Chain A
Amino acid sequence: MGGTTIRLLLAVGMLLLGGGARAQQLSIWHDLGDNGTKWFNEAMEDFARTHPGVSIKPVSYPTDQWFGRVTAAINTDTAPDLIYNNYERVIRIATQTGKIMDLKAALAGVPDHGYLSDDDLRVATYRGSMIILPIQRVQMAFGARKSWMAKVGEGFPVTWEDTKRTARKFQDNDPDGNGKPDTFGFALQASNARSLIHMLDLFVFGSGLKHTVIDPDGKIVIDEPRHAQVLEAFLRIFANDKLVPPDTVNYAFNEMYQVIEGGRAGFFRVGDWNVNKWTKQAIEGDFVAGPWPKFFPDLPNAVVIGGMRGVAVPENSPNKALAVQFAQFLLSKPAQQISLNTVGSAVRKDLDTSALVEQSKRFANPEWNLVAYDFPESIHPWYSQLEEAYYRKLMAAIASPPADWQAFIKQTAEEMRATAKTLAAKPN
């Protein structure tokens, strides 16, 4: 305890002195666990060559805590220098605190950022302010257990019919050969609005549709015939076909991963950031990633670009100028290479992919069709409340499935129209 107490006193002292007395240390709060911490440490090694004496303290929080902590820290002026997360989470921070710096000028200071498309930059911008520097493109594919498909005599599914048939076999035909009925068709998550609607997003966008709940003009789209078709199929997975573990209603992503990595589900989401781990450990490469199931003959199915992950700088960051420099550095070729190697994704297209595991290369040099998520939260500030209401309707239907899904969808759409109207009318 002695040493620790002294260190504590020193730390408090440093805090009081504002840290000015010694070489600068940047703090960055992320939610990527050990991989992320490794990435920032390695990137800092490079950065410190041109900025001697600068060090970094990356801290990883579970995602749900990350949000509360960042918000509270920024609101009490105890902010870290940088925060890192998905664009949509940073939007929530920006709306709750109003203290996320506009990084337009910072981006302008990055030489030749042509690899960032207009779409990419649109995703990074919220109410005219560039709230993150986009560092990693997020790709989410549909995954299937290779050995299970071989066992049940199916290939990687293309249509929804293929998918459903194969999922049924995954569940009933003992694909892991342990003699127990302990396998499931899909691993999904549904413990809160974002987790369930995110899963729905993937099926919707993966099938080629453009919006899940609401379009940019504020029109509710859920009862348009094609949407309704995907939605019914999605809800039936839970309610009628029961192709997911019954506990799914309480699953957030970590429980979902437990199902995937415990070898209990045949179909699942594969994010670019999962590939490295799943190739080397966990399911040891026993998976194939590809586009999401095809619902409509005339619409190409796709892998979903779930926007961007990037770094943001709070207005009250203690070392703001240096934080911005480090953020810019994360777009440089060496830093992007480290990002690709440690976390499995990046935004630059001129990186060396030879060191990547096979499946990661498919993400780094995609040959599949890509569809981008639409980020309604960046257009409708009240979207999360709408999503919350929508979620409750869907969960109630999952708990007690209606006889006529289309009627349910019709009625839900009407309710959502009323909700959206009320929300839009509220001053915010």
Chain B
Amino acid sequence: MTRPRPLARIAAWAVAGTVSLLFLYPYLWMALGSMRSTRAILSAPLRPWPEQWTLDAYIRLHEVAGVTLWRAVANSLGITLASTALAVGITAMGAYALCRRPGLLAFRFLRGGFLLTMMYPYMLLVIPVYIVMYRLHLLGGYTGIVLFLSLGPVQFFLFEQFFRALPAEVIEAATIDGAQEWDILWRVVMPMARPVVATVSIITFLLNWAQWFPVLVVSTTPDTYTLPVALLNLNGELGTDFQGIMALSVITTLPPAILFLIAQRRVIGGMTEGAVKG
């Protein structure tokens, strides 16, 4: 195409820039809100920097919704990391098996059942999942939360797509060498799958960090609350402070935002592929 005219470029930048700033403004407002007093916000709602740089609201947060902040942070990290590891392992093996033996009737049912599950409105599983957790004695513990979070569609689609695209010769060659299936998976396939494992891990981390509903349902005390659940309950406690809510929002938002900015190519690429194949 011809070289773009400068006017057109300025117009395009103005539009894209305005949209981008509107999308980013809530982050600025959240950070400001954690530092400005209610009174100050009321008198100058749009002031773009705080009157004073203070972390008081963060310090006051040592206890949120009946748990210490550190406990909530540890829960978030622990639950997210554990469920990510499990999700990657379990989904990789499952998708691999389903790709190697797509014709098996049981596998066809499994795939169909899985897809059906993913379409069910999440929030409506509350009571049935509560009952299931109760029957399995998983209520109130970490195990139930982690297991429930170890299942997700994007992860499955990404692995499935990768394994389907795997050249048949690779496996044939290994089989001829007399390798066992287990070895083929771990010594041959998984090393090749490293990039997709990385992508799935990061995406799962981002998705599971944001989960709040299953955590709320399976928890019987605030001891297992993650940051988003603590945030929800902080919002509902008797007479809470606005600065605290914003401060906890910042704490909840920051880890995934940083991880995303570091790995943005992988995340966007992975989520696109996962969606396109689904």
- Quick one: which of A346-385 are within 8 Å of B by CB? none
- Quick one: which of A32-68 are within 8 Å of B by CB? 32-34, 37, 57, 59-65
B237 & A254 in contact (Cβ 8 Å cutoff): yes
B235 & A179 in contact (Cβ 8 Å cutoff): no
B134 at the interface (CB under 8 A from A): yes
- Output the least CB separation between A30 and chain B (Å): 11
A59 & B137 in contact (Cβ 8 Å cutoff): no
Set of chain A residues within 8 Å of B43, measured between Cβ atoms: 178-180, 182
B238 at the interface (CB under 8 A from A): yes
| Stretch from B95-103, B117-125, B139-147, B252-260 that touches the partner | B139-147
CA distance A82 to B225 in the complex (A): 22
A78 & B78 in contact (Cβ 8 Å cutoff): no
Given contacts A11-B140, A12-B137, contact A178 B239 (CB under 8 A): no
| Stretch from A150-158, A194-202, A255-263, A334-342 that touches the partner | A255-263
- Output the least CB separation between A27 and chain B (Å): 9
Set of chain B residues within 8 Å of A60, measured between Cβ atoms: 66
B240 at the interface (CB under 8 A from A): yes
A263 & B39 in contact (Cβ 8 Å cutoff): yes
Which of A1, A8, A76 is B130 in contact with, Cβ under 8 Å? A76
CA distance A12 to B233 in the complex (A): 25
Which of A5, A33, A62 is B142 in contact with, Cβ under 8 Å? A5
Set of chain A residues within 8 Å of B275, measured between Cβ atoms: none
- Quick one: which of B41-87 are within 8 Å of A by CB? 42-43, 63, 66, 74, 78, 82
A261 & B239 in contact (Cβ 8 Å cutoff): yes
Set of chain B residues within 8 Å of A33, measured between Cβ atoms: 237-238
- The interface size bin for chain A is 35 or more
CA distance A12 to B221 in the complex (A): 14
A105 at the interface (CB under 8 A from B): no
A72 & B130 in contact (Cβ 8 Å cutoff): yes
Which residue of chain B has the shortest Cβ distance to A59 in the bound complex? B221
Which residue of chain A has the shortest Cβ distance to B138 in the bound complex? A12
CA distance A367 to B180 in the complex (A): 87
Set of chain B residues within 8 Å of A261, measured between Cβ atoms: 239, 241
Set of chain B residues within 8 Å of A253, measured between Cβ atoms: 238
Between B74, B236, B239, the greatest number of chain A beta carbons within 10 A of the residue's beta carbon is seen for B239
Chain A interface mostly: helix
Given contacts A60-B66, A178-B39, A178-B43, contact A4 B236 (CB under 8 A): no
- Quick one: which of B125-180 are within 8 Å of A by CB? 127, 130-131, 134, 137-143
B242 at the interface (CB under 8 A from A): yes
A282 at the interface (CB under 8 A from B): yes
A16 & B239 in contact (Cβ 8 Å cutoff): no
B240 & A4 in contact (Cβ 8 Å cutoff): no
CA distance A65 to B213 in the complex (A): 12
Set of chain B residues within 8 Å of A5, measured between Cβ atoms: 142
Which residue of chain B has the shortest Cβ distance to A5 in the bound complex? B142
B239 & A72 in contact (Cβ 8 Å cutoff): no
Which residue of chain A has the shortest Cβ distance to B66 in the bound complex? A60
A64 & B130 in contact (Cβ 8 Å cutoff): no
The tally of residues in B whose CB lies under 8 Å from a CB in A reads 33
Residue-wise interface mask of A (178-221) relative to B, using a CB-CB cutoff of 8 A (1 in contact, 0 not): 11101000000000000000000000000000000000000000
CA distance A78 to B66 in the complex (A): 21
Given contacts A4-B142, A76-B130, A254-B238, contact A59 B42 (CB under 8 A): no
Between B39, B78, B127, B236, the greatest number of chain A beta carbons within 10 A of the residue's beta carbon is seen for B236
- Quick one: which of B211-235 are within 8 Å of A by CB? 216, 220-222, 233, 235
Set of chain A residues within 8 Å of B127, measured between Cβ atoms: 72
A165 at the interface (CB under 8 A from B): no
B18 at the interface (CB under 8 A from A): no
B237 & A62 in contact (Cβ 8 Å cutoff): yes
Set of chain A residues within 8 Å of B264, measured between Cβ atoms: none
Set of chain A residues within 8 Å of B220, measured between Cβ atoms: 59, 69, 73, 78
Set of chain B residues within 8 Å of A12, measured between Cβ atoms: 137-138, 141, 143
- Output the least CB separation between B81 and chain A (Å): 8
A277 at the interface (CB under 8 A from B): yes
- Output the least CB separation between B150 and chain A (Å): 16
- Output the least CB separation between A366 and chain B (Å): 23
Which residue of chain A has the shortest Cβ distance to B222 in the bound complex? A59
Set of chain A residues within 8 Å of B63, measured between Cβ atoms: 34
A15 at the interface (CB under 8 A from B): yes
CA distance A62 to B232 in the complex (A): 10
A15 & B222 in contact (Cβ 8 Å cutoff): no
Given contacts A1-B78, A59-B66, A72-B130, contact A257 B239 (CB under 8 A): yes
CA distance A277 to B238 in the complex (A): 11
B272 at the interface (CB under 8 A from A): no
- Output the least CB separation between A62 and chain B (Å): 3
A277 & B239 in contact (Cβ 8 Å cutoff): yes
CA distance A60 to B234 in the complex (A): 12
Set of chain A residues within 8 Å of B134, measured between Cβ atoms: 76, 78
- Output the least CB separation between A35 and chain B (Å): 8
Set of chain B residues within 8 Å of A72, measured between Cβ atoms: 127, 130
A62 & B233 in contact (Cβ 8 Å cutoff): yes
Binding site for B on A (CB under 8 A): 1, 4-5, 8, 11-12, 15-16, 32-34, 37, 57, 59-65, 69, 72-73, 76, 78, 178-180, 182, 253-254, 257-258, 260-264, 277, 282
- 20 interchain pairs, CB-CB under 8 A: A4-B74, A12-B143, A15-B137, A15-B140, A37-B66, A59-B220, A61-B233, A65-B216, A65-B236, A72-B127, A73-B220, A76-B134, A178-B39, A254-B236, A254-B238, A257-B238, A257-B239, A260-B239, A262-B38, A262-B39
5 more contacts with CB within 8 A, not counting A5-B142, A65-B233, A262-B42, are: A4-B74, A33-B237, A257-B239, A258-B240, A277-B239
The 9 A-B pairs of least Cβ separation, nearest first, read A62-B236, A257-B239, A262-B38, A182-B42, A1-B78, A8-B141, A33-B238, A76-B134, A59-B221
